[in-house]
Amino acid sequence: MKIHYYPGCTLKQKMTALDISARKAMERLDVELVEPEGWSCCGAEYPLTEEKIVGLAAPIRVLRQVRDEGGDVLVTTCSFCFAVLKRANKAVQDDPLKHKRINAYLRDDIQIDPLTKERTTGFEDYNGEVKVLHLLEFLRDRVGYPKIRERLKRDLKGLAVAPYYGCRILRPRGEMAVDEPDSPRLFEEFLGAVGCSAVDYPFKQECCGSYVSVSLPAAATEASYRILRSAAMAGAKAVAVSCPLCFYNMDHRQEAIKEAFLDFPGLPVVFFTQLLAWALGVDKSLLGLGEHAVPADGLFTEIPLTEVRP
């Protein structure tokens, strides 16, 4: 199965571990991830003012490209990209005025024929034809957990992992609609399917500090500390995330956390795709573990799966 995949800029620069592990894992599930031609940055943040239409042009351009390549689904792993693409898509579907204005911007994009180098214009309007899915959602709805269980090669021995949703993939309620925002099961079920045991803790939807990391590092340090502490108290051996910024705040910032909060013992943070790839038999060298500030190697111990899980 070939499926359109939008990695987003961070996955090409700072957090290649998320990109590579996702590709390798999906290969093992017979899914080839194809990037849309000439994709650009999604804008990273959905415009917070009604009027700021131009912020929607970038994500819609990406979605239009997917449609024009014959795709009907676009999968992302980065939570920020997912939120921007999905909300922009919904705005075009639901709001006739936004639909009209965005398409007015995009109609005059210039198209260059790769062979003749001829420049033309006049794109067809984008009407929300593509469905935006988070990779976790794609695994649940399109691949299916039974298939993952079938393909497992390594035993994670019920590793206690705290699923961390962050702020982007569950809300706004109704718009993101991947799961019930106050009592989600999506991440927990995924962890169960790859052989981990999901740890229940109250901070799984709380904010990690997000962009405040730049302007008020101390606030992000405290926010991340509370999440990690809560997960550790609940017995987690690691926190699994789906967002590069969450990863940055909780992993790269742990040195600062330890300085500010002396009681904090440290806790490895991993991408959910690393767990998936490992369980499916991908080589450790391809997981991008070198990008971790807090060593996570210890979590990935070679235990072949001896019995088929039900």
Partner 1 sequence: MTVKATNKEKEKRIGLFVCHCGVNIASVVDVERVAEVLKDYPGVTFSTDYVYMCSDPGQQMIIDTIKEKHLDGIIIAACSPTLHEKTFQEAARLAGLNPYQIEIANIREQDSWVHSDKEKATKKAIRIVKSHVAKARQNESLEPIKVDVTRRALVIGGGVSGLQAALDIADHGYDVILVEKNPSIGGKMIQLSETFPTLDCSQCILTPKMVEVSRHPRIKLLTYHEVESVSGFVGNFKVRIRKKPRYVDETLCNLCGECEKVCPQIVPDEFNMGLSFRKAIYMPFPQAIPGTYTLDAEHCLGLNPVRCGKCKDVCDKKAIDYDMKETITEEAVGAVVVATGYDLYTMEALGEYGGEKYEDVVNGLEFERILSASGPTGGDIRRPSDGKIPESIVFVQCCGSRDTEHHLPYCSKICCMYTAKHAMMYRHRVPDGQATVFYIDVRTGGKSFDEFYQRTVEEDKVLYVRGKVSKIFKEGDKLIVWGVDTLTGKKVEIEADMVVLAMAMVKADGVQDLLKKLKIATDIHGFLAEAHPKLRPVESLNAGFYLAGCAHGPKDIPETVSQASAAAAKVGDLFALAELSHEPTVVPVNDELCSGCGICISVCPYGARSLDPDRGVAVVNEILCEGCGACASACPSGAAQQRNQTDNQIFSMLRAMLRE
Residues lying near partner 1 in the complex (CB under 8 A) are found at 173, 180, 182-183, 200, 202-203, 230, 233
Dihedral sign, Cα of residue 204, residue 208, residue 211, residue 212: positive
Measured distance CA(222)–CA(257) in Å, rounded: 7
Contact 184, 165 (CB under 8 A): yes
- The vertex-83 CA angle with 79 and 86, nearest 5°, equals 130
Q: How far apart are the C-alpha atoms of 194 and 280, rounded to whole Å?
A: 8
Least CB distance from residue 241 to partner 1, whole Å?
A: 20
How do 2-6 and 32-34 pair as beta strands? parallel
Phi, psi of 240 (to 5 degrees): -105, 135
CB of 38 to partner 1, least distance (A): 40
Query: Is the separation of the CB atoms in 269 and 247 below 8 Å?
Result: yes
To partner 1, the closest distance from the beta carbon of 207 in angstroms equals 12
Q: How far is the CB of 233 from partner 1 (least distance, A)?
A: 7
Q: How far is the CB of 224 from partner 1 (least distance, A)?
A: 17
* Cβ-based nearer residue to partner 1, 183 or 215: 183
* Complex with partner 1: residue 1 or 216, whichever CB lies closer: 216
User: Rounded to whole angstroms, how far apart are CA atoms 282 and 295?
Assistant: 19
The residue type at 115: L
Contacts of 65 (CB under 8 A, 6+ apart): 36, 37, 38, 39
Nearer to partner 1, 79 or 230 (CB): 230
Minimum distance between the CB of residue 171 and partner 1, rounded to whole angstroms?
12
* Shortest Cβ 189–partner 1 spacing (Å): 16
Nearer to partner 1, 109 or 180 (CB): 180
Q: Please, which residue, 73 or 177, has the CB nearer to partner 1? A: 177
Shorter beta-carbon distance to partner 1: residue 67 or 204: 204
Q: Which of 237, 181, 188, 232 is nearest to 206 (CA)?
A: 181
User: Nearest Cα to 167, choosing from 137, 139, 221, 209?
Assistant: 209
Strand order in the sheet with 131-134: 32-34, 2-6, 73-76, 131-134
**Pick 185 or 284: Cβ nearer partner 1:** 185
Q: Toward partner 1, which CB reaches closer, 230 or 274? A: 230
- Distance separating alpha carbons of residues 37 and 66, to the nearest angstrom: 8
Q: How far is the CB of 183 from partner 1 (least distance, A)?
A: 3
